[in-house]
Amino acid sequence: MKGFKDILPETIEKWHFLEKTAVKIFTHLGYKEIRTPILEKTSVFERGVGDSTDIVEKEMYTFLDKSGESVTLRPEGTAGIARAFIENKLETSVFNKLYYIGPMFRYERPQKGRFRQFHQIGAECFGIKNPAIDAEIIYINTLLFEKLNIKTNLEINNIGCPNCRPQYSKALISYFEHYKESLCIDCQKRLYKNPLRILDCKNEKCKIIARSAPKLKDYVCKDCKEHYTGVVECLKALNIEFIENELLVRGLDYYTSFVFEFVNNNLTLSAGGRYDNLIQDLGGNNICGVGFALGEERIIDILDIKPQNSIDIYIANLGVTLYALNILQKLSDLQFKVYCEYENKSLKSMLKKADRLEAKVCIIIGENELKSSSCIVRDMKNSTQKTIELNQLENTLKGVLYAT
């Protein structure tokens, strides 16, 4: 299927490395994992993400289930987690810092870094208004990219809130109306629905026009200004470098005040911000929130790690399967990584396979070894081998493996 990609064994090690690195950072900073369904009621995203966004208007996989209810494959993680926060009454729980890993779905044109099924790692924190928590979310990202050895630029902006944004929207409409015919078709539609999105358009003509548009910093209210200033102070205290980008608005309606993106070679790897009205918009109490999500596929594409040997020992089984299983069990109990061959193959072909699997040791067993309760241990690095009794296997293997 177009836009749906298999993740093969040759790349899965990168996925494991990325996810394990992220989970380690989350747990060290007090975040707990949450898992929500990939299917949600469509209204969760219409009310949460915004019914005038590109995601809701064009990109959602939405259908009626057998009961006639409209359901949607989640296009992002935050709205579903906010819904879970409300329904499970997590505001009374100590678990207000949450992280997630999982697949998302958007019907968009597949291209570099974009798929119709894609995976995100993200975190959400509810109920903390202090700008220090926004900085903590940023800090998580900087830690992760440092450990992944990926260079990024952090871009930040203040996009205001429902109290101050209407005045800014009016100013944008008044400005862009003069250039309406020069805007792309999508931006012409956005002009009266969501003019802020024009600032984020990738069309070259729209980008040129947007550069001279009114600046939101001239319209933000006192609360938004103070919060943004507080985040900036925290980032400076953490020695985190950033660029203020007045055209950064994000494509989700729930964001308020502080937003950010981590960019590598003009490609956004991670993004997020504050959403102080989302819980209330979904029917909950007036509880603030802040979070982020990063695209795993985009990071995997540029992640440079050396593959590790996945196999310690290859068992070349020459027709003595029950004996091979006995040795497999013994080695597994000793915590060695083992691959056992069960197919009827020649020793030559099995040695080639052991080499392709990058096994450090090959254990060769046949009828003679079965009768004498022994095995042949072959050092794959220098092609030397010797026959040993089975009760000597553990010490012999440790000597070979720890010497290589």
Q: Alpha-carbon distance 311 to 154, whole Å?
A: 39
- Round to the nearest angstrom and report the end-to-end CA distance of the chain: 44
For residue 83, which amino acid is it? Answer: R
Does residue 335 have a known ligand-binding role? no
Residues 336-350: b if buried by 16+ CB within 10 A, e if exposed: bebbbbeeeeeeeeb
Q: Alpha-carbon distance 96 to 32, whole Å?
A: 8
Contact 124, 288 (CB under 8 A): no
Q: Calculate Rg over the CA atoms of the chain.
A: 28
Kindly list the distances between the CA atom of residue 261 and the CA atoms of 74, 137, 212, 245, 381, in Å, as whole numbers in the listed order: 21, 12, 22, 10, 47
For residue 61, which amino acid is it? Answer: Y
Listed in order, strand segments (DSSP E) in 232-266 are 243-244, 256-264
Does residue 77 have a known ligand-binding role? yes
Structure tokens at 153: 């630029």
Does residue 378 have a known ligand-binding role? no
Contact 281, 232 (CB under 8 A): no
Q: Alpha-carbon distance 67 to 49, whole Å?
A: 24
Does residue 78 have a known ligand-binding role? yes
In terms of C-beta density within 10 A (0-12 exposed, 13-18 middle, 19 or more buried), how is residue 305 classed? exposed
Kindly list the distances between the CA atom of residue 187 and the CA atoms of 210, 334, 365, 374, in Å, as whole numbers in the listed order: 11, 63, 70, 75
Does residue 124 have a known ligand-binding role? yes
Strands 256-264 and 267-274: antiparallel
Does residue 61 have a known ligand-binding role? no
Does residue 399 have a known ligand-binding role? no
Q: Determine the 3-state secondary structure of 274 from DSSP.
A: strand
Residues that constitute the known binding site for L-histidine: 76-78, 106, 120, 124, 250, 254-255
Residues that constitute the known binding site: 76-78, 106, 120, 124, 250, 254-255
